[in-house]
Homo-oligomer: A and B are copies of this chain.
């Protein structure tokens, strides 16, 4: 099949001769990808920050049509239109039952999402069928919003859950990437009274406001913290979403949190040193990690289908999949927030 592969730092290719994924376990399914996208976390290996094996496929976000299923698959069938959570789970083990599907004992990951086909392990536990989709696929206007449910929206939601966003109060979102913007949307949905997005970029600020941000703080560092302090009447934020993964972002998150608050973090940490003394002195907690997408997906799919949320607004560039390298470049240079790929 044709699929995106990584060969070195800033060397992304759309390869024409990648082996087709196949049913390897009776719980597997193969999904024909109808939409894919590039994740902020794909930029870590792209930038050489993570080890890679040259020639490996890349891409873990996709939606599409079930093409084949293993003998034990009961909940989905060939022809179903599905959202594919990037983290695959059986949805029955003790961790899944506790709502922590990202720690499933049978955890798997989409590994060729930016290709023609993706293998899904634990298809029954993982895949969520989009109802009433005919052969021509879902309504075109819905596609970006469905696509956002594979990772970015549930990840922003997880940040808000981990930070214990509650109705009323103030939420601060550190990071104006697609995940941070989805964090804004999540906090607003959960009823946070003030939602503050820290962002210096006008197009991102605009999406943040559309998603429910009541305040935008363009300042960074100490000035940014001072601005937050003013918005929160000197108290600090009740919940903080750290959606970047760098030490600087984490430092900002702890600086703006009120005593007793929780920082929810979902950016894969790179070079982060947690300020344990400050956390102790201020009683500011930290929680989060890889999002249990399957846990939130049914609820979020409902919100998309009834028009309550439009997370697909984070996509500001759409490319044919064979131009995927351009997409990585645009996101790396922050010319695009998030790139949607079409086969």
Give chain A's interface residues, CB within 8 Å of chain B.
Answer: 94-95, 98-100, 102-103, 162, 233-235, 258-260, 262, 265, 268-269, 272-274, 276-277, 279-290, 292
Contact = CB atoms under 8 A, between A and B. Distances in A.
Given A95-B258, A98-B258, A103 B283 contact: yes
A280 B258 contact: no
5 contacts: A94-B234, A95-B259, A269-B277, A280-B290, A282-B289
Contact of A280 (B98, B100, B234, B289): B289
B258 A269 contact: no
Contacts of A258: 95, 98, 100
Contacts of A276: 269, 272-274
Contact of A102 (B98, B103, B269, B283): B283
A287 B289 contact: no
Nearest to A247: B276
Contact of A283 (B100, B259, B282): B100
Nearest to A286: B286
A260 B290 contact: no
B280 A235 contact: no
A288 B277 contact: no
Given A102-B283, A262-B285, 17 more contacts: A94-B233, A94-B235, A98-B259, A98-B260, A100-B259, A100-B260, A100-B283, A102-B259, A162-B283, A265-B280, A269-B276, A269-B277, A273-B273, A274-B274, A283-B287, A283-B289, A283-B290
A282 B95 CA distance: 11
Nearest to A97: B235
B289 A279 contact: yes
B285 A235 contact: no
Name A's interface SS: mixed
Contacts of A288: 280, 283, 285
Contact of A281 (B95, B283, B290): B290
Contacts of A94: 233-235
Contacts of A289: 279-284
A289 B274 CA distance: 14
A88 B198 CA distance: 35
B162 A235 contact: no
Give the residue among A98, A262, A282, A289 with the most B Cβ atoms within 10 A: A289
B287 A103 contact: no
A280 B288 CA distance: 6
A193 to B, nearest CB: 15
Contact of A103 (B103, B260, B265, B279): B260
A232 to B, nearest CB: 9
Contacts of A235: 94-95
A68 to B, nearest CB: 31
